[in-house]
């Protein structure tokens, strides 16, 4: 459950990579993955208008068109891109929110968005104003719940003074623990759910990539400091530790990453991203792995003694987190 009343599956599905950021698209494979997700009960789907410059929403909209029992759809607004370009700006103005919402509703082919996130905060617009506009959209029945991405604890508190927030979505995984400083505690205090994005460290924590992996130019990881050759050579240490613990427990490293997130509290919902059925199947088995106190203590030790090298975003991207 996110917030007071948004019921979602224990594990969600991140759909971003079906459109861009992690290599070439495979629409047929992605459609099969969406079908399998419904069968497996992973019915909390995460998208955004900017993924593939509207492609991702349209793709999901086409897939769910005509379905009577649709998955829970979360989408986002606020990052403005020129189609095909990575360069971006942020807009949380009332006109932009309203026109973005109309666009998302149309592409998704739904009458109401289940969870509508501010993708990044616009420093020019006070959070109270953004929440007031979103609150009007709730009253008008265009969105059911409000979410915020990568916000600070203080911003979340201010936002909740205007309208309830169902979920904060930020990066959280065994190698990205920033939200443990303040944000998670504030979510718990205010009864706000927490959606963990990039729970597999953009795939790195699964052990699929090694220190010598080269990402193609159509892969965002080629731009991220944490995936630079020197950083990967050092960051492989945590992957090896996670892989060893997973082997002892009898699961895969990906499942261990997800089971660890699930063990952090009921309010935490991981949304691993994939366009492949076999990864989806593997990820959806994670809730069956129940970590005991020894497993959790061992992972805590690994976290404590293994430094992580390189920021998770470019310097420009880092300006948009914890604001
Ligand atoms: N709010 C935000 O700012 C924000 C930012 C980033 C992401 N998100 C959302 O969060 C979702 C999840 O994050 P993410 O996709 O970045 O990260 P992730 O789930 O940590 O990693 C995705 C990567 O891991 C691979 N993968 C997935 N399951 C695997 C497994 N079992 N074994 C090996 N590799 C596996 C995927 O491969 P394939 O691509 O080959 O399937 C993909 O390359 C996104 O889809 C998006 O909806 C939100």
Task: Give tens-digit pLDDT for 93-108.
Answer: 999 999 999 999 999 9
114 lines ligand 1 (CB under 6 A): no
Closest of 264, 262, 263 to residue 272, by C-alpha:
262
Mean pLDDT of the chain: 97
15 lines ligand 1 (CB under 6 A): yes
pLDDT in tens, 65-83: 999 999 999 999 999 987 6
For 209, phi then psi, to 5°, come to: -110, 145
Assess whether pLDDT exceeds 80 at residue 297: yes
pLDDT in tens, 258-286: 999 999 999 999 999 999 999 999 999 99
For 75, other C-beta atoms within 10 Å of its C-beta total 31
Summarize the confidence of residues 169-184 as an average pLDDT: 98
C-alpha distances in Å from residue 147, one per residue of 74, 107, 317? 9, 20, 20
Domains and CATH numbers, the chain: 13-318 (3.20.20.100)
78 lines ligand 1 (CB under 6 A): no
Closest of 60, 167, 150 to residue 105, by C-alpha:
60
For 299, phi then psi, to 5°, come to: -65, -35
282 lines ligand 1 (CB under 6 A): yes
**Rounded to the nearest whole angstrom, what is the distance from the C-alpha of residue 277 to the centroid of ligand 1?**
13
pLDDT in tens, 208-255: 999 899 999 999 999 999 999 999 999 999 999 999 999 999 999 999
**Rounded to the nearest whole angstrom, what is the distance from the C-alpha of residue 201 to the centroid of ligand 1?**
8
Determine the atom of ligand 1 nearest the C-alpha atom of 18.
39
Closest of 13, 79, 20 to residue 40, by C-alpha:
13
Determine the pLDDT at residue 288.
Answer: 98
**Rounded to the nearest whole angstrom, what is the distance from the C-alpha of residue 17 to the centroid of ligand 1?**
7
Q: Report whether 24 contacts 218 (CB < 8 A).
A: yes
**Rounded to the nearest whole angstrom, what is the distance from the C-alpha of residue 18 to the centroid of ligand 1?**
10
**Rounded to the nearest whole angstrom, what is the distance from the C-alpha of residue 211 to the centroid of ligand 1?**
19
Tokens standing for residue 54? 């509207």
For 251, other C-beta atoms within 10 Å of its C-beta total 20
Determine the pLDDT at residue 244.
Answer: 98
**What does the buried/exposed string (b/e) look like for 37-56 if buried means 16 or more CB atoms within 10 Å of the residue's CB?**
bbebebbbbbbbbbbbebbb
Tokens standing for residue 3? 């917030």
Summarize the confidence of residues 30-43 as an average pLDDT: 98
Determine the atom of ligand 1 nearest the C-alpha atom of 23.
39
313 has catalytic annotation: no
pLDDT band at 84 (very low <50, low <70, confident <90, very high): low
273 lines ligand 1 (CB under 6 A): yes
**Residue minimizing CA distance to atom 25 of ligand 1:** 203
Summarize the confidence of residues 192-207 as an average pLDDT: 98
Assess whether pLDDT exceeds 70 at residue 287: yes
Determine the pLDDT at residue 87.
Answer: 76
44 lines ligand 1 (CB under 6 A): no
C-alpha dihedral, 262 to 265 to 268 to 272, nearest 10°: -10
**Residue minimizing CA distance to atom 19 of ligand 1:** 272
**Rounded to the nearest whole angstrom, what is the distance from the C-alpha of residue 23 to the centroid of ligand 1?**
12
Assess whether pLDDT exceeds 80 at residue 138: yes
Per residue, the 3-state secondary structure of the chain, as one string, reads CECCCECCCCCCEECHHHCCCECCCCHHHHHHHHHHHHHHCCCEEECCCCCCCCHHHHHHHHHHCCCCCCCEEEEEECEEECCCCCCEEECCCHHHHHHHHHHHHHHHCCCCEEEEEECCCCCCCCHHHHHHHHHHHHHCCCEEEEEEECCCHHHHHHHHCCCCCCEEEEECECCECHHHCCHHHHHHHHCCEEEEECCCCCCHHHCCCCCCCCCCCCEHHHHCHHHCHHHHHHHHHHHHHHHHHHHHHCCCHHHHHHHHHHCCCCCEEECCECCCHHHHHHHHCHHHCCCCHHHHHHHHHHHHHCCCCCCCCCHHHHCCCCC
| Set 22, 51, 172, 279: catalytic member | 51
88 lines ligand 1 (CB under 6 A): no
130 lines ligand 1 (CB under 6 A): no
CA distance 77 to 96: 9
């Amino acid at each position: 459950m996110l917030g007071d009343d948004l019921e979602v599956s224990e594990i969600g599905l991140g759909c971003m990579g079906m459109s861009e950021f992690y290599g070439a698209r495979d629409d047929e494979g992605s459609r099969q993955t969406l079908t399998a997700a419904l069968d497996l009960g992973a019915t909390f789907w995460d998208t955004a208008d900017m993924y593939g410059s509207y492609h991702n929403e349209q793709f999901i909209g086409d897939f769910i068109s005509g379905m009577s029992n649709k998955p829970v759809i979360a989408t986002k607004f606020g990052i403005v891109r020129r189609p095909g370009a990575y360069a971006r700006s942020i807009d949380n103005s009332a006109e932009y929110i309203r026109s973005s919402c109309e666009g998302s509703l149309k592409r998704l082919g739904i009458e109401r968005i289940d969870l509508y996130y501010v993708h990044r905060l616009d420093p020019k617009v006070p959070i109270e104003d953004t929440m007031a506009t979103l609150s009007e959209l709730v009253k008008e029945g265009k969105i059911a719940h409000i979410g915020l991405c990568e916000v600070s604890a203080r911003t979340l508190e201010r936002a909740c003074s205007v309208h309830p927030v169902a979920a904060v979505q930020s990066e959280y995984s065994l190698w990205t623990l920033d939200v443990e400083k303040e944000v998670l505690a504030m979510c718990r205090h205010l009864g706000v759910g927490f959606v963990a994005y990039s729970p597999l460290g953009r795939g790195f924590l699964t052990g699929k990539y090694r220190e010598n992996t080269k990402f193609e130019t159509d892969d965002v990881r080629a731009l991220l400091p944490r995936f630079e050759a020197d950083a990967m050579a050092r960051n492989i240490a945590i992957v090896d530790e996670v892989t060893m613990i997973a082997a002892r427990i009898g699961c895969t490293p990906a499942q261990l990453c997800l089971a660890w997130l699930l063990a952090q509290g009921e309010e935490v919902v991981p949304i691993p991203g994939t366009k492949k059925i076999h990864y989806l199947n593997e990820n959806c088995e994670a809730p069956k792995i129940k970590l005991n106190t020894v497993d959790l203590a061992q992972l805590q030790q690994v976290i404590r003694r293994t430094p992580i090298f390189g920021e998770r975003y470019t310097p420009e991207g880092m300006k948009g987190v914890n604001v």
